[in-house]
Structure 1
């Protein structure tokens, strides 16, 4: 088992802790414990037990502080195990990243000191990805970096990224890059991207997609932005079938509470994909802070990086980065203007 020590995390104020307890927020498990004065028990924030009255609850930084104050651990939620789980996930992420060939689930779980099936669930809950998907994302990220280097061939990039055969690299590239390795290296050469600019109550919306799915949704942009991103792709106006897809996007802009079931085709690093998965897991009408998103993917210290990943989101509304606020509850940033962010949040709350 890997020898790991406790992470350093910024503290939350009492009001933020209470709100996290009320919504049983798994994202902040391990950040603090809640102790009940009337029962002498301390719990993790997501504990399923009935909530006590606010005046009967205090918040402590960790289980050790709770025990020192005379409280005992809840037998239902087992708060003492939370910190160990999070550290084990971080150790597994480092183990996967250091391996050129993706390790098996048994190897990853053994490194972390857990049973394979239990750790599979634990890892996915913490990062939004299974260990295998996380490993594939890292390898695809290495492939992307190798492809962007000057002078190298596609074949050498494939093997440098850790692939044993081109077939696996091409399959991963279709999933993570949205196109073949050679097309990515050539700025989208050989790929057809359909687009349409459609009206909405929040302004013009650019909707663009490859054959696989949506690759860009943005406000106040046009064909020129696509050509900048993919200078060698074939960029064509959308047809009647594409118009139906664009109409679905507009309906989501008008009512962001409706379920999202649209095909997507977006590339990103393993970290970005984990952040985007965490964003999609936020229920409509709710918000999270950047700090909570970082904690949700097992990287509590990567608050700024989580914010950058939100900013790198290319599918506005479908990947709901508008649901992320600053820790003080203010709107923070939004690529398409704070007015639009506020409007989307108000629509989700039915205001």
Structure 2
């Protein structure tokens, strides 16, 4: 891992208790579920419990709640106070996060609150409540609590609500999160690429993890957290060849990757991911169009959540999804990498088109 990596620089800023300066960022703490700005007076978290985000809103979409001490949303915008109030009410009791109740507490009409909150955060109050429950459920299950204990501690009103929502964001049954890969053998390896550090992992079935980032250690932590009780082993020569093929695929993403995949997801997630894989390299689509492609035109937000749950970077090409206005929107492995992947695919597509015309 390079000492000047972005994640390492950001960690040093946290340790020094400085503000983020010219390159602002936010950090979320997985053990508390809170997102803060650098310089927050709260106790310094353990490095393995920290996730970095470019924007506070991105952390909130993942279910983290804004810190009460450092106020990462700020207070200059007139709507930020309302957003903070709604977040507090939802965090206090996500099971009772009714739009009418929230609107009454903030002095807004339900429709105005819904529109304003969604514009500011990118998700509705109901979806934020769902994210809070999801994050708490993960934490409870990860601590070894039973499914029943976890669902009520997370704020679910019933087991049916828990299992319905759990299928939307998890590729595994709820009970398996307590096992977290127990009995599985996961092989993994990493390499430096033109897009940063590439980490791949495979089960006995095929590739089950592909990630890109700046910090190798942080990527390994995320992989091990996902398969917390699995047995990890070093790569053999055959697996090193797999790694080389994935590296080559990053450089030429228009070429097919002929490797077995272990795609774990719900039926809905698999529908979304298969639709993503059907988008030709060099082409893009928005969430609404993708929802229509799978025959669920009203499920654009659920489609977005399925894209965010993808753990197989590039192979399941969620980078080919743009906002309706053509903007890049978010990307699990960094918006800059998304732009680079799209540029490479478009360039390759243009070259292939020119070659065919010359023939």
Higher relative contact order (CA 8 A, sep 6+): 1
Q: What TM-score, normalized to structure 1?
A: 0.48
Rg larger in 1 or in 2? 1
